[in-house]
Amino acid sequence: AQTVTQSQPEMSVQEAETVTLSCTYDTSESDYYLFWYKQPPSRQMILVIRQEAYKQQNATENRFSVNFQKAAKSFSLKISDSQLGDAAMYFCAYRTNTGTASKLTFGTGTRLQVTL
Amino acid sequence: NAGVMQNPRHLVRRRGQEARLRCSPMKGHSHVYWYRQLPEEGLKFMVYLQKENIIDESGMPKERFSAEFPKEGPSILRIQQVVRGDSAAYFCASSQAFKGEQYFGPGTRLTVT
C-alpha cells in the first residue's frame, strides 16, 4: 500500500519570505500523480498544485512550485513571497494512475503559520 | 457553476442515533468519493462511487457505515448507531471522469454526544 509522510507538523515563515514543506511517499508503482492541497480554517480543501510522475519538469503555479525527486520519492512544496493568506494546513497526497483505484492517499499535514 | 455541495454543514447526534450526510457533486460529475478527517489528522479515503455503483469501498468500516449514489439525487453516507469515535469531518469530492481531478465540498462536521 502507498504511504505519504509529512515530517513537519508545523512550519513558520515571515511574510514575503520563502518556505519549503517536505513530503515523502512510498510506492512500487511508476505511474502516479502527486498533489498538494491547502486547507484553510474554513476547512475547504483547495488544490494547490499537481505533478505527474512521468513528467520530469517540476510543476509551477504562480508562487507555488514543487521539487519532485522521483528516485528519492520526495515531493516538496516551495511557497515564494509568502502572504498572510497562505496560512493553512497543507496536505501532500498520492494517487495511482494504474488499475482501478482512484482514491487519494493523504499525509498527516503541515500547519503553516505566516508572521508579519 | 456551483461546486460540490454538502449538507448539513454541522450535524449533532447522540450515541445510537443515525447520521445521514448528503453530497451533491458538481454538474456533469458522475464520480463521488467520501473521505473522513479525524481531528488533527489528514483525510482518509472511505468509498468511491459512480452512479448507482460502489467502485471501491476499501476504506469503509465493515459495520454501521454504508454509502449510495442513486441515479437521481445526491450521494448519501449513512452511519447507523453512531459512537463518539465517529465524530469527525466528512468530506465529499467529485470528478468528471475516472481518475479525473477531484473537487472537494466544504465538509460535514459530525459531533456525537
Q: Least CB-CB distance to A45: which of B91, B99, B101?
A: B91
B43 has a chain A CB within 8 A of its CB: yes
Tell me the shortest Cα–Cα distance from B73 to chain A, in angstroms.
22
Mean model confidence pLDDT for chain B: 94
Backbone angles phi, psi at A34, to 5 degrees: -125, 145
- The residue that leads in pLDDT, B31 or A56, is B31
% residues pLDDT > 70 (chain A): 100
The predicted structure's pLDDT at residue B29: 92
Distance between CA B99 and CA A99 in Å, rounded? 10
Q: Least CB-CB distance to A104: which of B31, B102, B107?
A: B102
Please check whether residue A54 is in contact with residue A32, taking contact to mean a CB–CB distance below 8 angstroms: no
Mutation site for B-interface testing, chosen from A7, A95, A103 by largest number of B Cβ within 10 Å? A103
**What is the full DSSP assignment across chain A?**
--EEE---SEEEEETT--EEE--EEE-S-SSEEEEEEEE-TT---EEEEEEETT--SPPEETTEEEEEETTTTEEEEEE-S--GGG-EEEEEEEEE-SSS----EE---EEEEEE-
Q: Least CB-CB distance to A104: which of B41, B45, B89?
A: B45
C-alpha grid cell for residue B61? 468500516
Contact A100 B44 (CB under 8 A): no
Closest residue, chain B, to A42 (C-alpha): B106
Contact B91 A42 (CB under 8 A): no
Distance between CA A75 and CA B2 in Å, rounded? 32
Contacts of A47 in chain B (CB under 8 A): 101, 103
CA dihedral of B72, B4, B16, B64, whole degrees rounded to 10 = 70
Q: What is the rounded average pLDDT of the residues B86-113?
A: 93
Instruction: Please name the residues in contact with A31: beta carbons below 8 A apart, sequence gap of 6 or more.
Output: A53, A54, A96, A97, A98
pLDDT digit string (tens) for B55-85? 999 999 999 999 999 999 999 999 999 999 9
pLDDT over threshold 90, residue B100:
no
Contacts of A109 in chain B (CB under 8 A): 41-42
Q: Which pLDDT band holds residue B1 (cuts at 50, 70, 90)?
A: low
The predicted structure's pLDDT at residue A98: 80
Q: What is the rounded average pLDDT of the residues B88-92?
A: 97
pLDDT digit string (tens) for A51-91? 999 998 999 999 999 999 999 999 999 999 999 999 999 99
